[in-house]
Structure 1
């Protein structure tokens, strides 16, 4: 009895100690568990949505948060979604290379679902079998080296038409040329040529410029891009999807309806032609998509897959080239010595008796260095398309919950002072290789963002690079550019709403090659 009493007494003494020890161990484990990246304190349920709605444009609000916290990775909770912006190349590499399989999905939201006709495409479709199917189509059927070579002459025609259009603007002496307008419609003409084998939906213009239909088409493409992943409140509070609280739904529907007005009749007629044996020879990308067959000799792609994928590729190719070239030419006009170096390289490689061709690109290292510097300093938008984590993980010793939206900040990485010396200065020479070997616009180390990397990188790297280089090289080699007298120093300020140049670049242009060079393309 005495021993039983002693045992009970000891038990009552030991149990509290044991419980205390367990609690200590548990708190130690909790303290060792990685925390979320730093960020503003969220409100219950809505997170930081009130701040998001009160601080427009949202990308600058995110910039300011990261600057105030002095962090290269942050966490902002919008509704129940953790948004993780990143400005560090090393962290970006961890996400897009080391943990690429975890971050290979895309957000589910109204804008991307509507634009892709229910996630039927490549770039904005979440990870899964549909994405895999369409990526195979893009990489093997549209942008493979053999296919791009097959389409070479169509690209060359549009590079010539660019020169024809600009020449016609300034052939009678110095005349003002809107570089942004010319660049936009070079891209629009080229992508219509690749898909539809024609430059114009309507009659176009005799000087090589776009008609009203082409202007409307390009503006609609850019409008849709503007509303994709645009931080709509309904993306973070699904119950609000039925309401158009920020007006984005109506604007996006209008733009997409404009695109379908031009695209759908051509696509449907082409399908009819292939189905009935009227057309049997491939001439463009649309023919390729329509004529693909499965193992049973049935159409490999549905009509909606063709329509949505065509629209997505058009959107993916339209904005980067003209934005990059406008910024680069603006920077170089403010530093005339840099522009002169580019001109001298072009004259050395090409001479003055012909125009730049795609075959010259490997030798134009300084030109490519200028364009890389433009992508570093002036990306078309601050954020890449969001990556979504498909499970809980750890990045840079921070906890990233499943379902987080990871935003690789292009401008944040490109202007990161921990990575770049004099990050706000335009210095093309920083990209030149010491051995003089072929430079490209690709950046696998993600110290600047051009075409990204990993599973969700842009499959059209070669096409996008070629379009950008040819646009810049044709403008600089073919014409002399002078700032107008009312703006001797080019204004390099951005729009408040995005990273586009605030004022379109309008310059005095003058042909600089022998007349015979221009006459050759005018007479085609």
Structure 2
């Protein structure tokens, strides 16, 4: 019996023994206020039967509901949970700027997050509280601060050089998705563990089975974190695992732990045994050596493992996805590609390789990545923000415990904000003279690194990873479509990922003596 029929049958059983659950809500001050528009929920189960009956991915169904009600803010009850999707920049700013303190928490532990770390010991998923403040403070002051990131510049430079070497030696046809995901995974492995391979590795710098398996497991976990599991809204269905999310997430988690935890356990033991004498330039050592009261370790081994995993989850998806989409858009629009190359040649030249310190000067490349974030987000929504009290926002009543989801596609493709929103056009960002051009978008016209208390503390690192990956690809090689292909036919309005990995032809565009420099570093 499929998930829909099981849910439907069990909901009828519950309805037989209960009265109507749904009732009109009022603000605590007694004033009547309407919920945002949305479909009328069933008793107990809310709109879950309607959602499952459509057989659409949940994010597509939510956007279809918003379109049906012609609204940029909706209210959809799933089980007893109020889901509030938002596609309006102005309303998004009310939630995450005006009322940031009220919406700074996270939902009760979801099925996927429970599998990852049930106690929510890290920063992304933990509710507001001392644990979140502790981990956020460690990230901001010890791990992702400018000084630490500068000390680890060598790791990032070495990976950027290895990227050139691998493409230069690997042949003319390049799987762009593979190299971008591998680059992001390797950057973090170098910074976390001071190593990029789990096994012997390859002389040409390419991925082995271990790194491919590890990266794909991380991406699987991310997709299921952002997915909607039935048991998140109907906990009594959790033992049935009707949508299979639990099985898939556990399998992916086992893969990640298989590779990472032996490294962490071995390093912790070596520090205990005093077999290491100085802090290395890697995040794992920093986390192990943090001290609290009475010179005791500030973090437990469980906290270290959870934070290591979270850092990898936070850095592999957005940079690789944004760069793959940007490359696809640029080869489809040669004039944009030509303008990006002209900027690189003007700012960097062809006598040296592009470096991180060049990024602030690469305005047009930054505009290209901003446009990729705007038009092609990796996930449909941000991590939910949960209200800690009843409140009225944008004239609507938002009950305590509501989960607010900012729609990345709804914001980035909003025709009120963006002219011709479905067109990839970096120029729209170049024309904005009101702020310094970067990947951050504090006004929430699109989502990059978020904002407010739950904004990403690693936006600087995320910017460097994304921009260096993009800049090295464009600076080091000329990119063209494969023979027989005149245009990449990739666009479907509701799809988030390219339907197939992007394959392009790469031709070295620098003097060949530049590439041995990359190979020897």
Report the count of equivalent residues: 492
TM-score (ref. length: structure 2): 0.92
Report what 2:210 is aligned to: 213
Task: Give the TM-score of the pair, scaled to structure 1.
Answer: 0.91
Q: Is the 8 A contact 1:494 1:500 kept in 2?
A: no
> Post-superposition shift, 1:487?
2.4
Contact 1:117 1:304 in 2 (8 A): no
**Shift in Å at residue 33 of structure 1?**
1.7
Q: Is the 8 A contact 1:326 1:505 kept in 2?
A: yes
Q: Which runs of 4+ in 1 moved over 3 A?
A: 29-32, 433-438
Larger Rg: 1
1:54 CA drift (Å): 2.1
Deviations 1:432-485 (A, max 9, x none): 156698521001100111001001111100000111101110001110011112
Q: Which runs of structure 2 are paired with 1:77-476 in the superposition (5 Å)? A: 77-108=77-108, 109-170=110-171, 175-283=172-280, 284-433=282-431, 438-476=436-474
Is the contact between residue 381 and residue 410 of structure 1 (CA under 8 Å) also seen in structure 2?
yes
Distance 1:275 1:326, change over 3 A: same
Distance 1:31 1:427 in 2: 48
Aligned to 2:9: none
For 1:480 and 1:107, the matched residues in 2 are separated by 46
Distance 1:220 1:176 in 2: 26
Alignment deviations for residues 80-126 of structure 1 (CA, whole Å, 9 cap, x no partner): 10100000011110000111111111112121122124211110111
Stretch deviating more after TM superposition (285-294 or 478-487): 478-487
CA distance in 2, matches of 1:504, 1:146: 36
Q: Look up the SS of the partner of 1:149 in the other structure.
A: helix
CA contact (8 A) 2:111 2:229 kept: no
Deviations 1:363-404 (A, max 9, x none): 100000010011010011110011111111111100000111
Match of 1:50 in 2: 49
User: Which sections of structure 1, spanning at least 5 residues, go unmatched?
Assistant: 1-26
Q: Do residues 76 (structure 1) and 87 (structure 2) align?
A: no
In the alignment, what sits opposite 2:15? none
The 2-side partners of 1:444 and 1:50 are apart by 37
Q: CA deviation at 1:134?
A: 0.7
Which whole-Å deviations, capped at 9, do the CAs of 1:41-92 have from their partners, x for residues lacking one?
A: 1111111000121232111111111112111000000001010000001111
Is the contact between residue 177 and residue 508 of structure 1 (CA under 8 Å) also seen in structure 2?
yes
Structure 1 pair 82–117 and aligned structure 2 pair: CA distance change class (3 A): closer
CA distance in 2, matches of 1:495, 1:513: 37
Mapped to 2, the partners of 1:517 and 1:332 lie a distance apart of 24
Q: Say whether the 8 Å CA contact 1:495–1:501 is kept in structure 2.
A: no
Taking the aligned partners of 1:30 and 1:43, their CA distance within structure 2 comes to 27
**Separation in structure 2 between the aligned mates of residue 203 and residue 53 of structure 1, nearest angstrom:** 46
Unaligned ranges ≥5, structure 2: 1-25
